A and B are shown apart, each in its own frame.
Chain A
Amino acid sequence: MLFTEVRGLPVLVPDGDGPVGTVTSLTVDVAAGAVSRLRLRRGRFRGETALPWEAVLSVGPGAVRVGSAEAAESAPVHHELLGHRVLTENGTARGTVLDVAFAPETGRVLAVFTTRGEVPPDRLLGLGDHALVVRTAWAVR
């Protein structure tokens, strides 16, 4: 599944009668190579809430079902991957992130699609406020 497919989906709780919010983005833990938080907006004038990925029961079709809509206790700093700058470890720009493919069951990142090709998850080094840093020797498939 792709990040752009998940964005905007309604978030449902098992006993609720309506969606508790809509998905705004997914936070990726680059070291673990997996999605760590689901970020949702509960209303137009309310801020974003980060749910732990463990609370997610299923993703799609048409909605994200979560066990509980309680916010994670300590949310790491969120760096939005989509549109983020990509740098190699040698300090050369490699375009920007277009989309991220992930396994909806486990949250594992399968591939990052950039304007300059696909990056396998084992090439990801770090994600910070400036850029997504990737290992140099990644092949464009």
Chain B
Amino acid sequence: MNELMAARSLTTRPVVTLGGDAVAHVKDTVCDAGASRITGFTLTGRGLLSGPLKEGLPWSSVYALGHDAVMIRDRRGLVSAAVLTERRQSLRAEVIGARVLTEAGDEVGTVLDVVVEGGTGGRVVGFRVAASRRFVPGQSRHGRRVYVPRGVSATLAGRDLVLAGEAAAHVADDLPGLTALVAGVPGHPKGSPP
């Protein structure tokens, strides 16, 4: 399984062609309506003070999403950012802050970040969630931060993200734990001490 990454950590990652030239930095991640996969990235320029670019990077132009760079074949893969975000919203606007609910209507918490799989798939595999007190009881004043796998299907209705079936039956404390959960390896059961 490819490395899992928090979408927030993608911001400022360089976009590099296979020819070795950096063309931009990632500004934000754009995903599809059900928060199931990445559809692209909005970009900022390379300089320290350069603002957002008019061009965006659609996922179809991505060669590989790596730990240290987003690789693309060449600069021609960039498209107008307006096309990219025409119907989709960036993660920050749409998914982050949404309430996570199970199908039964139990509140899990609110989305802090989206976890995506690196490599060529661009799948959204889970969410970093500020767990509600009822979902993860604990003595922490700030509530618990847990990683919840997305499961096979999830629907975004307004500001509510509804996870199907057993998706929220197990949660993980960290990204390696989520990797194990998503890959189907037992371990890191719900509520294990951090």
- Say whether A89 contacts B18, CB under 8 Å: yes
A125 vs B63: C-alpha distance when bound (angstroms): 13
A133 at interface, CB cutoff 8 A: yes
A-contact 0/1 string along B128-172, CB 8 Å cutoff: 000000000000000000000000000000000000000000000
B64 at interface, CB cutoff 8 A: yes
- Say whether B119 contacts A131, CB under 8 Å: no
**Nearest CB of B to A128, in Å:** 3
Interface of chain B residues 1 through 58 with chain A (CB within 8 A): 14, 16-22
A129-B22, A130-B22 known; A91-B69 Cβ under 8 A: yes
A132 vs B22: C-alpha distance when bound (angstroms): 11
Residues of B within 8 A of A129 (CB): 20-22
- Say whether A133 contacts B119, CB under 8 Å: no
Interface size on A, residues (CB 8 A): 17
B67 at interface, CB cutoff 8 A: yes
Residues of B within 8 A of A132 (CB): 20
B-contact 0/1 string along A62-103, CB 8 Å cutoff: 000000000000000001000000011111110000000000
Residues of A within 8 A of B177 (CB): none
Name which residue of chain A comes closest to B2, CB basis. Answer: A90
B68 at interface, CB cutoff 8 A: yes
- Say whether B21 contacts A90, CB under 8 Å: no
A7 vs B18: C-alpha distance when bound (angstroms): 28
Residues of A within 8 A of B21 (CB): 126, 128-130
A91 vs B17: C-alpha distance when bound (angstroms): 10
A127 at interface, CB cutoff 8 A: yes
**Nearest CB of A to B11, in Å:** 15
B70 at interface, CB cutoff 8 A: yes
B68 in complex: contacting residue of A79, A92, A126, CB < 8 Å: A92
Which residues of B pack against A, CB within 8 Å? 14, 16-22, 63-71, 118-119
Q: Which A-B residue pairs are the 9 nearest by beta carbons?
A: A91-B66, A128-B20, A128-B21, A130-B22, A126-B19, A93-B68, A91-B69, A126-B20, A90-B64
A-B contact pairs, 24 of them (CB 8 A): A87-B66, A87-B68, A87-B69, A89-B18, A89-B63, A90-B64, A90-B66, A91-B69, A91-B70, A93-B67, A93-B68, A125-B20, A126-B17, A126-B18, A126-B21, A128-B17, A128-B22, A129-B22, A130-B16, A130-B21, A130-B22, A131-B69, A133-B18, A133-B19
Which residues of A pack against B, CB within 8 Å? 79, 87-93, 125-133
